[in-house]
Structures are given as structure tokens and as C-alpha cells.
Amino acid sequence: MAALRRMLHLPSLVAGVCLPFAGSLAGSSLADRCLWDRLHSQSCLGSVPTFDWFFGYEEVQGLLLPLLQEARAACPLRVLDVGCGTSSLCTGLYTKSPHPVDVLGVDFSFVAVAHMNSLLEGGQGQMPLRPGHPASCLRFMQADAQNLEAVASSGSFQLLLDKGTWDAVARGGLPRAYQLLSECLRVLSPQGTLIQFSDEDPDVRLPCLEQGSCGWTVTVQELGPFRGITYFAYLIQGSLKTC
């Protein structure tokens, strides 16, 4: 979370992307839909088609691809990115995974979803995205990650990705973050994996996840440092644990 806060204080340029009003976000609620619509509307993407808080697909493909390999019984593997924004996680999986994936990115910002759908179809002056495997597919939908009833039935995804979404939602209070976690676990298959990417220290995050993930196994892997910041991948996986 500290990295996200630091980014929001930068006055003009973050990871090569112009954010003309980034400093004004520092005191805002990161769970505010209007704020994110405004961010995605006014970001100066220029020649960069995606924008990533923390890091992009390239930095974590070494973690993701083995998980896809292990779960090949589901073909294609269904992947859900909650709070996808304009990140490269979905597009990276779709265009670079050698394994077939059915990727769905959801975000409550209509602006972000419209941008990503345009990118998928070849807008923004880009070529249409091509799958890394002929059976792969990619979609983007507007949805609130705290209520995915209209998007997904229970146990319907084998891999869920949350890159900074818990961090943003928790700014509106931990009950909201626990609702997000509960909904993610509802749509995750019993043998699936939920990954939360964050820079929040394990001493803070792990007790919250263990409390909210009764019956699941929670582990953590250190990532990076990327651009001088250490991140963590919190993995919540199906198991035979009992509460």
C-alpha cells in the first residue's frame, strides 16, 4: 500500500505515464468510483497502451505460468482479474501465455473497461491483440469486485488476480476489504488460487487473510525489488484445512 500512496503523491510522471493530477489523489478515497473514472479519463497514456500500479505482467509471469501449467486439467483455464484497471496483467496473459486461458478483467470504472475493450479490438492506434494460444480468449466487463453475482457463479474460476485492489478497497474500511475477499473466494474453484499482489508487510496482511480465508491455505512469496520497492504475492489456495 505504501507504494501506491507514494505513486499518488508523484506530481507528473509515474512509470512513463503522465498523471496530471496525481498529487490530488493522495487525500482521496481509493474506493471511490468517480476518482478512478477521472484518473483513467485524464491519464496521458500516449504511446503506452496499459498502465500498471506496482508492476506489470512481465515481472510476475514467472509466478503465473507455473500455476497455469499445474492447472491444465481445466482447458482453457478461467482467470479473473478483479479491479483490472488498465493493467497489463490480463493482456499479458492473453497474448503471452502458451497455455489456453479464458481471461476476464472486471473493474467498476466504465472508463477503464472501455479503454481495455478498445485496446483489445485494435483501438488507441494499436493493432488488435492476438492470443498466445489459439484457444485463449479475453473479455472486459464493468462490475464491482465486492459483488460479482452478475459476472460469475460460485467456483467458476481457477485463478483470481488482485493487484492492489484489496489495498484500494481497504482505504474505505476493512469490512469492505473482507467483502471483496469473500466474493473472490466464492467464485474461486475449490482447487483454485487467489493471488493478492501488494507491498503491504506480511505482518499486517497475513492475519487479515487468515481470518477471512477460513478453510483455505494462505502463503506469501516475496517479489522484486522492482524500481527499488519490495512487493509480496499472497497466495490463497484450496486445501483440506478445517476451521
Element (H, E) at 116: helix 110-121
* Those residues with Cβ within 8 angstroms of residue 62's Cβ, 6 or more apart along the chain or in another chain: none
User: In the chain, where do the E strands start and end?
Assistant: 13-14, 17-18, 77-82, 101-107, 137-142, 157-163, 188-198, 216-226, 229-238
Return the top range by mean pLDDT from 47-51, 115-119, 190-194: 190-194
Predicted TM-score (pTM) of the model is 0.85
Mean pLDDT, the chain, rounded, equals: 83
Domains of the chain: 33-39+61-238 (3.40.50.150)
Residue 9 confidence (pLDDT) above 50? no
Condensed to tens digits (0 to 9), the pLDDT of residues 147-167 reads 999 889 999 999 999 999 999
The neighbour count for residue 226, using CB atoms within 10 Å, is 17
At 7 the pLDDT is 43
- Residue among 122, 100, 118 at smallest CA distance from 110: 118
At 230 the pLDDT is 96
Give the burial class of 242: count Cβ atoms within 10 A of its Cβ; 0-12 exposed, 13-18 middle, 19 or more buried.
exposed
Residue 183 three-state SS: helix
Residue 101 three-state SS: strand
- Residue 183: which pLDDT band, with cuts at 50, 70 and 90? very high
* Those residues with Cβ within 8 angstroms of residue 12's Cβ, 6 or more apart along the chain or in another chain: 18, 19, 20, 22
At 162 the pLDDT is 98
Q: What's the DSSP call for residue 106?
A: E
Distance of CA 150 to the CA centre of its chain: 19
Comparing 27 with 213, the larger pLDDT belongs to 213
Distance of CA 66 to the CA centre of its chain: 18
Residue identified by cell 493478492 is: 196
At 171 the pLDDT is 87
Q: Are 151 and 184 in contact (CB under 8 A)?
A: no
Condensed to tens digits (0 to 9), the pLDDT of residues 208-240 reads 999 999 999 999 999 999 999 999 999 999 864
Residue 114 three-state SS: helix
Cell matching residue 184? 473472490
Comparing 128 with 207, the larger pLDDT belongs to 207
DSSP H helices, 43-102, are 57-70, 89-96
